[in-house]
Structure 1
Amino acid sequence: MKFRNKVDVSAPIDVVFMEVSDFPAIEKRAAKRGYDVQRLDVLREPGPGMVWDVSFEFRNNMREMEVELVELNAPDKMCVVSRSSSFAGSMIVDFLALSRTQTRVSLELELKAQNLTARLMLQSIKLMRSNLMNKLEGRMKGWARQIENSYRMSDVS
Structure 2
Amino acid sequence: MELASKEDVDAPLSEVFEAISDFASFERSALRRGIEVQRLGDDPTPQVGMAWDVRGEFRGKARQLRLELASYEPSSLIGLSAEAASLSGQSQIELLALSPRRTRISVKVKVQAKTLSGRLLLQSLKLARSKVNRRFKQRVAEFASLTEDRLSQSA
TM-score if structure 1 supplies the norm length? Answer: 0.94
Q: Which runs of 4+ in 1 moved over 6 A?
A: none
* Secondary structure of the structure 2 residue equivalent to 1:111: strand
Deviation of the 1:150 alpha carbon: 1.9
Q: Deviations over 1:27-63 (max 9, x none)?
A: 0111111110001123242111111000011222211
Question: Partner of 1:57 in structure 2?
Answer: 57
2-structure distance, mates of 1:84, 1:99 = 39
2-structure distance, mates of 1:54, 1:31 = 10
2-structure distance, mates of 1:81, 1:110 = 10
Question: Partner of 1:14 in structure 2?
Answer: 14
* Secondary structure of the structure 1 residue equivalent to 2:27: helix
Amino acid at match of 1:16: V
| Equivalent pairs, count | 155
Amino acid at match of 2:31: A
Deviation of the 1:108 alpha carbon: 0.5
Question: Partner of 2:39 in structure 1?
Answer: 39
2-structure distance, mates of 1:19, 1:112 = 29
Question: Partner of 2:145 in structure 1?
Answer: 145
* Secondary structure of the structure 2 residue equivalent to 1:138: helix
Deviation of the 1:140 alpha carbon: 1.5
Amino acid at match of 1:135: R
2-structure distance, mates of 1:44, 1:92 = 21
Q: Deviations over 1:106-136 (max 9, x none)?
A: 0100000001111111111001111111111
Deviation of the 1:151 alpha carbon: 2.1
Amino acid at match of 1:12: P
Deviation of the 1:6 alpha carbon: 0.6
Contact kept, 8 Å, 1:64 with 1:84, in 2: the verdict is yes
* Secondary structure of the structure 2 residue equivalent to 1:92: strand
Which structure 2 segments of 5+ residues have no match? none
Which structure 1 segments of 5+ residues have no match? none
Q: Give 1:1-157 correspondences, 5 Å limit.
A: 1-155=1-155
Q: CA-atom RMSD, angstroms?
A: 1.0
2-structure distance, mates of 1:114, 1:41 = 27
Contact kept, 8 Å, 1:41 with 1:49, in 2: the verdict is no
* Secondary structure of the structure 2 residue equivalent to 1:75: coil
CA shift in 2, pair 1:59/1:145, >3 Å: closer
